[in-house]
Amino acid sequence: MERSSLRVLMVAAVTLAGAADAVPAQASASACTHQWSGPQICISTDGEPGSANPGHVTTAWTNPPKHRQTATVHIKEPDGFRYTVTAHRVRGQLIASVVPGRLMDDGKLCARYAGSSRMACVQIINRM
C-alpha cells in the first residue's frame, strides 16, 4: 500500500474513533452467555440513543432441550425490579420479548430462563 494511502486510512480511523466518543451511549445493547457446550442465553434491547427507556427487551435460549415448547424467563432490571415473561419456541429457539414501559437506571439488565442456570446481562448506560 502506498504511504499516502496508508496516511489517509490512519487519519480516517482516528477521526472515526474521535466521533465515536462524541456519540451518546445507546440503550440498545446485546449479550449472550459464552458457554458453547451448554445452553446459551441471550438478551438484547433496541432503545433510542441516550434514552433510559430500553424499548423492547428480547431474550433467547438458543439451544433449549427439544421437548421444551415454552419457558419462564426471569428478568431483573438495574434498580432490582423483577418480572417474569413466557418464552415460546420459534425456529428452534425459545424467544420472549417485552416492553417494560418504564425508565431504567444505569446498571445491568439480566435474563435467566427457568431450567437453565445461565444468566445473560447487558449494561444499560443512559447518557445524553
Kindly report, residue by residue over 27-82, the tens digit of the pLDDT.
578 889 876 667 799 999 887 655 666 678 999 998 898 999 999 999 999 999 99
Q: What percent of the chain has pLDDT over 90?
A: 39
* Position 22 confidence tier, pLDDT thresholds 50, 70, 90: very low
The CATH topology of domain 24-124 is: Immunoglobulin-like (2.60.40)
Which region, left, alpha or beta, applies to residue 3 given φ > 0 means left and ψ of -120 to 50 means alpha?
A: alpha
For position 27, what pLDDT does the model report? 54
Q: Mean of the per-residue pLDDT values for the chain? A: 76
Cα–Cα distances (Å) from 10 to 5, 38, 90, 123, in that order, read 9, 42, 44, 31
Per-domain residue ranges for the chain? 24-124
